[in-house]
């Protein structure tokens, strides 16, 4: 689609604002009112923008209010999580249009359900898939894919539901969650922090200077690769730290600590934490030990990055019961670092993926670079809170 430079600029501002009058578009794009009028005529003719009503100004005059038109289209965000798949379809202004949830095994069905719920007629501009893995170039040159078996088979099984011809972008799930925390979560307004996810696996999203750090191999924050154990007489194993801190080992330690008088052993981490919150002595001891372990990992993060803030997320990491133990270990082993729980819960990853998808969709319409979406610096990527 060929648009003039002024039309591209105005479209980007309109997508970021959701709705705007011509004076607001002129101010946002830094263009004269006549230039904006010409750009809006161009966008309306292409059905990329449409008048959505009027607003009364301070002088009593009414001004036309514009929003995106039907040809602006939609984007799809997919969180291919370790146990569940979450899918969201959004307009390019961030408005939520469709959503679906399924198990990891039913990821393709969840994608099909969300696609079927999108408004008919508008094009699907872009798809972002958040995966629990480093991403790499497909050997056949067809695009990006997960680098290992952590997410590769699940991605391939889900991909059969993706419509052909739509650009697909992959991003690490923890980076997506960190992006969401930066804009609308516990790290809003902070320029440096670490998002430490603790659940089935572990991962770290690193934000420095308001930008998500990806690293030379796209593997920054892969704390599962930290050498563990690291002492005399024991050889570090591949991703042994993730195995030790992950949910499966936490439940194993709970089973080992459980006594006959403690009642039925918890079958899930959620049940273990619920018992701890109720005051169950053994459950509280297991959770306390887990908090200390997470605190030692947080200390390693602070030692390398000194981020000033660590946001704890993930299925177990976001539970506030971990905060006292994590804070205590940091205070004992490192320098002062603020530690808070994620405020976004399970929705953080798909929220960040939605933000990225919107930025890519806007790029396709405007021809402008979408890479800054991962840094959070582009105004047009500021998806409205209502979408999440």
Burial class, 296, CB count within 10 angstroms (exposed 0-12 / middle 13-18 / buried 19+): middle
Mean pLDDT of 88-95: 97
Rounded (to 5) percent helix, strand, coil in the chain: 45, 20, 35
pLDDT band at 196 (very low <50, low <70, confident <90, very high): very high
Does pLDDT of 9 surpass 70?
Answer: yes
State the pLDDT at residue 340. Answer: 98
pLDDT band at 144 (very low <50, low <70, confident <90, very high): confident
* Residues 24-34: tens digit of each pLDDT: 999 999 999 99
Cα 64 to Cα 245: distance, rounded to the nearest angstrom: 56
* Residues 44-73: tens digit of each pLDDT: 999 999 998 888 765 557 889 999 999 999
Predicted TM-score of the model (pTM): 0.89
* Residues 338-377: tens digit of each pLDDT: 999 999 988 999 999 999 999 999 999 998 655 544 544 3
Six-digit token pair at 108? 């393709």
State the pLDDT at residue 58. Answer: 59
Mean pLDDT of 142-146: 81
State the pLDDT at residue 378. Answer: 37
State the pLDDT at residue 143. Answer: 78
Does pLDDT of 388 surpass 50?
Answer: no
Burial class, 267, CB count within 10 angstroms (exposed 0-12 / middle 13-18 / buried 19+): exposed
State the pLDDT at residue 141. Answer: 64
* Residues 259-274: tens digit of each pLDDT: 999 999 999 999 999 9
Give me the DSSP letters along 237-250.
-TTHHHHHHSHHHH
Mean pLDDT of 330-343: 96
Handedness of CA 107, 109, 113, 116 (dihedral sign): positive
pLDDT band at 317 (very low <50, low <70, confident <90, very high): very high
State the pLDDT at residue 338. Answer: 97
As a whole number, the mean pLDDT across the chain is: 91
- Residue 98 has phi, psi (to 5 degrees) of -160, 155
Whether 152 and 145 have beta carbons less than 8 Å apart is answered as: yes
Does pLDDT of 387 surpass 60?
Answer: no
Mean pLDDT of 251-258: 97
Instruction: Report how far Cα 184 is from the mean position of its chain's Cα atoms.
Output: 11
Whether 205 and 178 have beta carbons less than 8 Å apart is answered as: yes
State the pLDDT at residue 82. Answer: 87
State the pLDDT at residue 1. Answer: 62
């Amino acid at each position: 689609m060929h648009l003039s430079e002024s039309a591209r600029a105005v479209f980007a501002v309109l997508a970021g604002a959701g709705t705007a009058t011509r004076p607001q578009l002129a101010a946002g794009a830094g263009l004269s009112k006549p230039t904006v009028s010409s750009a809006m005529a161009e966008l309306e003719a292409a059905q990329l923008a449409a008048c959505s009503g009027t607003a009364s100004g301070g002088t009593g005059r009414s001004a036309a209010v514009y929003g995106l038109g039907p040809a602006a289209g939609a984007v799809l965000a997919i969180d291919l999580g370790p146990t569940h798949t979450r899918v969201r379809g959004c307009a390019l202004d961030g408005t939520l249009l469709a959503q679906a949830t399924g198990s990891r095994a039913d990821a393709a069905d969840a994608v099909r359900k969300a696609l079927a719920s999108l408004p008919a007629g508008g094009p699907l501009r872009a798809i972002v898939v958040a995966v629990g893995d480093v991403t790499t170039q497909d050997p056949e040159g067809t695009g990006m894919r997960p680098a290992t078996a952590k997410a590769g088979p699940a991605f391939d099984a889900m991909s059969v539901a993706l419509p052909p011809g739509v650009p697909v972008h992959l991003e690490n799930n923890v980076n997506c969650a960190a992006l969401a925390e930066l804009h609308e979560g516990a790290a809003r307004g902070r320029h440096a922090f670490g998002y430490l996810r603790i659940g089935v696996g572990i991962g770290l999203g690193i934000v420095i200077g308001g930008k998500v750090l990806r690293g030379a191999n796209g593997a920054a924050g892969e704390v599962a690769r930290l050498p563990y154990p690291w002492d005399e007489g024991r050889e570090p194993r591949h991703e042994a730290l993730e195995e030790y801190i992950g949910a499966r080992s936490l439940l194993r330690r709970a089973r080992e600590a459980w006594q006959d008088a403690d009642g039925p052993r918890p079958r899930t981490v959620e049940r273990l934490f619920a018992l701890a919150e109720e005051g169950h002595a053994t459950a509280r001891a297991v959770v306390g030990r887990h908090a200390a372990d997470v605190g030692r990992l947080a200390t390693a993060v602070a030692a390398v990055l000194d981020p000033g803030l660590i946001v704890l997320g993930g299925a177990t990491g976001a539970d506030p019961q971990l905060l006292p133990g994590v804070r205590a270990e940091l205070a004992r082993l490192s320098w002062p670092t603020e530690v808070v729980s994620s405020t976004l819960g399970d929705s953080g990853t798909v929220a960040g993926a939605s933000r990225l998808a919107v930025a890519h969709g806007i790029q396709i319409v405007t021809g402008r670079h979408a890479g800054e979406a991962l840094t959070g610096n582009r105004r047009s990527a500021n998806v409205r809170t209502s979408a999440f």
